[in-house]
């Protein structure tokens, strides 16, 4: 590896972000291309570590940080951290290249590139951290960057609300994570991953369960799992490049990384595994159904992300080395095809000026490169062989089937049903956007292909979606270097899971093809019945999670605050009297319980 690579992979983008204001004052193009070059250089440092990791190298590099609490900072160089850092930086580099064309005519680009580099650097620092406290610092930095970038178009009220919603909802999970870290420290006096592997055995099963579930609460918030998924669909109000970065390489992948890292640090407890798997499979199914009932192309992709993250989570919940590997393999596949799909959607929005698929149609003749790239991404998402999504998703379902028992077969069944729905909403999205005749809205516009600086990342990502699935043996050897999960082994291909995966393509594909491609059956007729109309309303409203949260928490908080407003009279004498009474009460408590002699 290149010397100091474990440090420079995340320090370069963090320091580079600080240079954006200065470069922006010198020249706008210099700033834009410098952001891309900074990310590209960081990617080279990250990729340089892969050969060493492949050959079995690992290291826990520490420096002094807070001696009073026996805490050190540092970087952990192992297969999981280097894989994640390489993925974050490579995807981030392509998105920054794409941004040069997509964001060319926007205002506030200095702020944009500053936040994007800070976002990439924070996520890389998160996955390279060697302890939970350092991870938590970067975890909060990632949350701040997502809030600022989702609300990048701050003149749009909906963007501001979406950014604030993401910030507040993910705070629920962040509090859970912080509590878990504090309980862990008070019980062990350790927060380093390597040291905890040796001392975790001194924790009781109940302590491990409590700590693990609290930390998983943090992952639920960041990775948009049920019930804290509501922020991610609204986060589509930000620029599409931001959406691509959040969904493909940063933010939502942080939760999956945390659960994967916990599996390497703590002994696996059955209660925790059941919760992880249950939440994951429920999220995967519910999000897929919601994707069927929205016409915003970015929201369809957002629900798709939530669903695919659910697959990764319930794979981790299996508690097997094969399930652990399958989740990370699918994380890589998803990062590639979801970045591709979002950037294709960005190209479409850039040309058409709308996110509503009902106002699209017929775009394949005007945007051939984007269309072919989108088709490849759609085939990967639908798990069509030989594209990468097939290999990773089939591996997850095969692990569920091989686990056996009622729980394993239930996960397998729900995962297969979700795969059927995934094929259906993907064909629907592809047909509404690219096939058929263009809408009257598009006939008034001059349509053409996106600029080359935007299409080049599409072609590159499309190529990886075709080829990366065949890298499973290489990837398995790379990830087996995480010695705490043991040497990865895979059983022979099972005929039943493979047959069900292929059957899911037919079961979900044929009805969607008849309805949306051939137009032999009007989709509006599906919602005319009283039952189907009710189901459609439930799906279109996201199972009413937002309505529930708004009535209970938002309006509830307003009612509580309004009741307390009566105490704020604005009269100085009354305020001083209240402060004096509070002071007397405090003194009384100290005299009574503080051991102060009277």
How large is the average pLDDT for residues 363-378?
96
- DSSP 8-class letter at 359: G
How large is the average pLDDT for residues 207-231?
95
Q: Which residue has the higher pLDDT, 306 or 480?
A: 306
Three-state DSSP class for residue 290: helix
How large is the average pLDDT for residues 317-335?
94
How large is the average pLDDT for residues 451-476?
94
How large is the average pLDDT for residues 187-209?
85
Confidence of residue 483 (pLDDT cuts 50, 70, 90): very low
Asked if residue 172 has pLDDT above 60, the reply is yes
| The pLDDT of residue 179 | 96
- DSSP 8-class letter at 59: E
| The pLDDT of residue 579 | 84
| The pLDDT of residue 156 | 93
Asked if residue 379 has pLDDT above 70, the reply is yes
The H helix count followed by the E strand count for the chain is 27, 2
The answer to whether 284 and 415 are in contact (CB under 8 A) is: yes
Confidence of residue 529 (pLDDT cuts 50, 70, 90): confident
Mean pLDDT, the chain, whole residue set: 92
Confidence of residue 148 (pLDDT cuts 50, 70, 90): very high
The answer to whether 219 and 263 are in contact (CB under 8 A) is: no
Between 39-43, 90-94, 363-367, 588-592, the lowest mean confidence (pLDDT) is in 588-592
| The pLDDT of residue 571 | 76
Asked if residue 523 has pLDDT above 90, the reply is no
How large is the average pLDDT for residues 230-235?
95
Cα distance between residue 186 and residue 589, in whole Å: 27
| The pLDDT of residue 492 | 60
Asked if residue 115 has pLDDT above 70, the reply is yes
How large is the average pLDDT for residues 130-156?
95
Instruction: Give 288's Cβ-side CA count (13 Å radius).
Output: 27
Confidence of residue 438 (pLDDT cuts 50, 70, 90): confident
| The pLDDT of residue 488 | 55
The answer to whether 214 and 247 are in contact (CB under 8 A) is: no
How large is the average pLDDT for residues 316-328?
93
pTM reported for the whole predicted model? 0.93
Return the H-helix or E-strand segment holding 65.
strand 59-66
Confidence of residue 485 (pLDDT cuts 50, 70, 90): very low
Confidence of residue 595 (pLDDT cuts 50, 70, 90): low
Asked if residue 162 has pLDDT above 50, the reply is yes
How large is the average pLDDT for residues 159-187?
95
Interhelix angle 452-467/79-102, rounded to 10 degrees, is 150
| The pLDDT of residue 490 | 54
């Amino acid at each position: 590896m290149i010397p100091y690579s474990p440090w420079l992979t995340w320090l370069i983008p963090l320091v580079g972000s600080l240079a954006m204001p200065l470069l922006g004052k010198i020249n706008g193009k210099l700033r834009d291309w410098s952001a891309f070059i900074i990310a590209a250089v960081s990617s080279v440092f990250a990729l340089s570590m892969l050969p060493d990791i492949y050959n079995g190298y690992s290291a826990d590099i520490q420096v002094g940080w807070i001696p009073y609490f026996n805490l050190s900072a540092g970087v952990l160089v192992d297969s999981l951290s280097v894989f994640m850092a390489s993925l974050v930086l490579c995807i981030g580099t392509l998105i920054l290249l794409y941004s040069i064309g997509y964001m060319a005519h926007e205002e506030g680009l200095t702020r944009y590139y500053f936040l994007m580099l800070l976002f990439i650097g924070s996520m890389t620092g998160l996955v390279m951290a060697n302890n939970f406290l350092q991870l938590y610092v970067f975890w909060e930095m990632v949350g701040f960057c997502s809030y600022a970038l989702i609300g990048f178009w701050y003149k749009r009220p909906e963007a501001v609300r979406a950014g604030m919603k993401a910030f507040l909802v993910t705070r629920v999970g962040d509090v859970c994570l912080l509590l878990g870290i504090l309980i862990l420290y008070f019980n062990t006096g350790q927060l380093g991953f390597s040291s905890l592997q040796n001392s975790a055995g001194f924790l009781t099963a109940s302590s491990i369960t409590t700590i693990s579930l609290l930390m998983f609460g943090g992952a639920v918030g960041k990775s948009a799992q049920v019930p804290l998924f509501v922020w991610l669909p609204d986060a589509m109000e930000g620029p599409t490049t931001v959406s691509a970065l959040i969904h493909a390489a940063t933010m939502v992948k942080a939760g999956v990384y945390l659960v994967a890292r916990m599996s390497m640090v703590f002994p696996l407890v059955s209660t925790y595994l059941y919760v992880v798997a249950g939440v994951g499979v429920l999220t995967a199914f519910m999000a897929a159904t919601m994707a069927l009932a929205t016409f915003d192309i970015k929201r369809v992709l957002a629900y798709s992300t939530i669903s695919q993250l659910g697959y990764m989570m319930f794979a981790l919940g299996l508690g097997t080395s094969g399930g652990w590997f399958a989740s990370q393999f699918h994380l890589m596949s998803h990062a590639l095809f979801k970045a591709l799909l979002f950037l294709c959607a960005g190209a479409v929005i850039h040309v058409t000026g709308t996110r509503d698929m009902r106002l699209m149609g017929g775009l394949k003749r005007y945007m051939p490169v984007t269309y072919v790239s989108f088709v490849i991404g759609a085939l990967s998402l639908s798990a069509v062989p030989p594209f990468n999504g097939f290999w990773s998703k089939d591996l997850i379902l095969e692990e569920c089937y091989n686990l056996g028992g009622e729980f394993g077969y239930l996960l397998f069944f729900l995962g297969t049903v979700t795969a059927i729905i995934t094929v259906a909403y993907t064909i629907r999205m592809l047909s509404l956007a690219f096939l058929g005749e263009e809408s009257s809205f598009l006939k008034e516009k001059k349509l053409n292909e996106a600029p080359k600086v935007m299409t080049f990342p599409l072609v590159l990502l499309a190529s990886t979606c075709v080829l990366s699935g065949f890298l499973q043996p290489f990837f398995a050897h790379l990830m087996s270097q995480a010695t705490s999960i043991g040497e990865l082994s895979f059983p022979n291909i099972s005929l039943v899971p493979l047959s069900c995966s292929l059957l899911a393509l037919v079961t979900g594909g044929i009805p969607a093809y008849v309805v949306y491609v051939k137009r032999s059956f009007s989709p509006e007729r599906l919602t005319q019945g009283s039952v189907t109309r009710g189901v459609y309303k439930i799906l279109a409203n996201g199972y009413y999670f937002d309505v529930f949260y708004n009535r209970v928490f938002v309006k509830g908080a307003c009612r509580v605050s309004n009741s307390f407003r009566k105490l704020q009279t604005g009269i100085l004498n009354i305020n001083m009297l209240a402060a004096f009474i509070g002071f007397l009460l405090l003194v009384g408590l100290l005299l009574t319980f503080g051991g102060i002699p009277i």
